[in-house]
Structure 1
Amino acid sequence: MHNLSIPFLVITMLITACAAPNTSRINYDSNELDAEVAIQRELALKKYLGYKQRLYTVSYPILKSASQFCPNKQINSAGAQGASSSEFQDGWRVTAEKLLGSDNFVITWVDKNGPAAKAGLKFKDKVIAINDVPFDASPIKNNKFYTEIARTQTSESPQVKLTAQREGELVNLIIQQEKICGYPAVLSESDAVNAYADGKRIIITKGMMRFAQDDQDLALVIAHELGHNLMGHIDKKQSNRMLGTLLDLAASANGINTQGMFGSAGASAFSQDFEAEADYVALYYMSVAGLPLEGVADFWRDMAAEHPSNIGSNHSASHPATSERFLAISKTIEEINRKIAAGEPVKPNLID
């Protein structure tokens, strides 16, 4: 005990010797604090749902129109999204129930030209059942209601029966879903200005949502990440890494420690080319979606203003320079416009 008490005494002396503020903290009671926490949680959740609504609004036309480029990766979609308080935890669940106005599954977004809107589904409708499977407020995992939502996306039949409650009355709807690319755009909580594809989804950070304030800029980012998925870049990068790793293993078998050098080199092989290709096909996805392309290259001038270190060419970088991307996008837009003027199919030029 004597040996333990000496370090404890030293620590206590150090803490008491630390410099302290010259004023006292303002006092408030726990009820005031709880009330302010509730207010700020509601503001944060409103912002979060707003980001998701904008993300769905911008991404949906692209995923729908680009379905012609992903014949083997299509899913059914009603063009609507919803949420329930059961998707949130702890105090956030209470906030979500207050904000959604119900502990049911509530429609939080409807594409104005989508199947759900055409069938009569409206924002804030409370979904009671889907295909006669009732809503269940239990956790999402193994929840039959959410399982049914997922099943409708891959069902051979595009038809969905939906029972909703609106202003106290039940509404029965039949929705004929449409095909879209099966790479949903999802929101990341990260504040970093970033977006990426993982071969299954398109992930957009909150930081990127704030940076890409213009919907045209956000559409370019989404279409770019869709390009990574549709062009198989994630699988190609993994394959390249594996080839490099095999060389690392071969070297190791001969007593040479490469420290994973060949694997890393393989993973970065053609990295700038993949990025350039994603930029290229992204413009075609935007064009077939009917989105304007004029001025879209300015996104990279805006990015250069924020990150000037990326302006000049750097062959060791993973991405092309912002100057290169601006010019390549501008040239691609000219290519697309020539095809439209000539009445040619608006499809990317692929190497045979």
Structure 2
Amino acid sequence: MTGMIRPSLCLLALVLAQPLAAQEQSDSACDSGTILALKGLQLLDQRLNAIGQRLVTGNAPYCTDTAAQAGVLLHDIEQYPDQAVARFALGFDGRIAVMAVAPDSPAAAAGLLPGDDLLAIDGQRVEDIPANGPAIAKEPEAYRRIAAVNSQLDRALGQGQTTLDIMRGGERMQLVIDAPPACASRFQITASEDRGASADGKIVSVTSAMAEYFLSDDEFAAVVAHELAHNLLEHRDRLDAQDVNRGFFGQFGKSAGRIRSTEIEADRLSVWLMANAGYDPQAAIRFWTRYGQEHGKGILSASTHYRWKKRVELFEEEMAKMAAMEAVDGKYPPPLLTAE
């Protein structure tokens, strides 16, 4: 998880206007609300982490850009505005801890558990990992340490078996992870009241409001697979090379057409990614039909995206191609990833 929790609704003006007893009662209510919000976000992160891990491992044979994928999601106590409440709600003892472990992942096989505190990677203490460099410097200050730790873990896993020193219930132990390569992408929940999802070339982000809207993991996977498709097809790099305007004027002219072409490709590829990960591609039709009927305006009406009925037609076309194809080792080679 890399998104920050939104500030509590307990406003300073209300605190100043209340007597001490009322302030204490309000503080308690605020803490309880924050705890529930943190626990809720953790559950969403765990779901997304599990879905993302299945998608990247299930489609590993078709990805040219790969990275060792352990199925573990880390977070840093510095990410949270109220660290005392975060420690209580999420089980922090140290600074870096495990937020989520995907089922049947290398991290799960090694015995890693949510709430474990990460102390060292191959003998290097997390506090000694340099939190600098051009890529790290672009991160907000509160995220530089976790970005550095993630980078170090990725490097270690890419070299083979990796030993993690962890603390669990006051007991220090070592666990060994051996993570095979899979499609390269990270996944994160961002705390927001707006429904949305995005991909920046390396990370798939889904807002908490969107994640709470899904009726099943298959629906969740439909949206994550669409955003993952953007990353796998390097759409951001393509659009940057074409000098596409992603702002207001990106809704018009050549920029709109170029963005729309990437959205079409992501829709087409998404159902193949779902099928190879063991998700029901029909869920893409169910989700976008429901979402389109309930929220047909806004982005679904933008010139950069097909309206929901046309998107459903694309899904049906791709699923027909899969139905006419013989699976290879139980997988369906996605044309957009395997075309020469």
Q: Could you say what secondary structure the match of 1:180 adopts?
A: strand
The change in CA–CA distance for 1:83 and 1:199 in structure 2 (over 3 A counts) is closer
Cα distance in 1 for residues equivalent to 2:250 and 2:45: 40
Specify which of 71, 77, 102 is matched with residue 69 of structure 2. 77
Structure 1's 140 and 134: CA in aligned 2 closer, same or farther, altered over 3 A? farther
Q: Which residue of 2 aligns with 1:152?
A: 153
**Pair 1:304–1:51, CA change in 2 (3 A):** same
Task: Measure how far apart 1:61 and its partner are.
Answer: 0.6
Identity across aligned pairs (percent)? 23
Give the alignment partner of residue 282 of structure 1, picking from 260, 270, 281.
270
Q: Give, in angstroms, the shift of residue 276 of structure 1.
A: 1.6
> CA offset at residue 54 of structure 1?
1.4
Partner in structure 2 of residue 112 of structure 1:
103
| Separation (CA, whole Å) in 2 of partners of 1:346 and 1:205 | 30
Q: What is the letter of the counterpart of residue 117 of structure 1?
A: A
Q: Paired residue for 1:87?
A: 79
Q: 2:60 aligns with which of 67, 71, 89?
A: 67
Q: Which amino acid aligns with 1:124?
A: G
Contact 1:140 1:146 in 2 (8 A): no
Deviates more, 1:298-307 or 1:339-348: 339-348
2:328 is the counterpart of 1:326: no
Query: What is aligned with 2:46?
Result: 53
Q: Once the 2 structures are TM-superposed, how far is the Cα of residue 302 of structure 1 from its aligned partner?
A: 0.3
Residue 216 of structure 1 and its aligned partner are, at CA, apart by 0.8
Q: Which structure would you say has the larger Rg?
A: 1
The 8 Å contact of residues 188 and 205 in structure 1, kept in 2 or not, is answered as yes
Structure 1 counterpart SS, 2:280: coil
Change in Cα spacing, 1:239 to 1:163, as seen in structure 2 (3 Å) is: closer
Choose from 76, 90, 103 the match for 1:100: 90
CA distance in 1, matches of 2:27, 2:331: 60
Letter in 1 for 2:39: K
Matches for 1:179-218 after TM superposition, within 5 Å: 179-218=181-220
**AA of the residue aligned to 1:153:** D
Measured against aligned partners, the alpha-carbon deviations of 1:110-163 in whole angstroms (never above 9, x if no partner) come to 1221111112222332333221223449976665x8634412313441221112
Query: TM-score scaled by structure 1?
Result: 0.76
1:84·1:97 contact (CA, 8 Å) conserved in 2? no
What are the Cα deviations for residues 74-107 of structure 1, in whole angstroms up to 9, with x where unaligned? 2222211233423323xx1011111233332332
Structure 2: tracts of 5 or more residues without a match: 1-16, 132-140
> 2:292 pairs with 290, 304, 318, which one?
304
Q: Distance in 2 between matches of 1:149 and 1:342?
A: 34
SS in 1 for 2:176: strand
- Residue 250 (structure 1) aligns with: none
Gaps of 5+ in 1: 1-24, 245-259
Work out whether residues 271 and 284 of structure 2, in 8 Å CA contact, stay in contact via their aligned partners in 1: no
**Higher RCO (CA 8 Å, separation ≥ 6 residues):** 2
Distance 1:213 1:291 in 2: 14
- On the 8 A contact 1:152/1:158 being kept in 2, the answer is no
Partner of 2:120: 129
Q: Does 1:270 align with 2:265?
A: no
1:241, CA displacement in angstroms? 3.0
Distance in 2, matches of 1:146 and 1:234, equals 21
1:233 corresponds, among 235, 250, 266, to 235
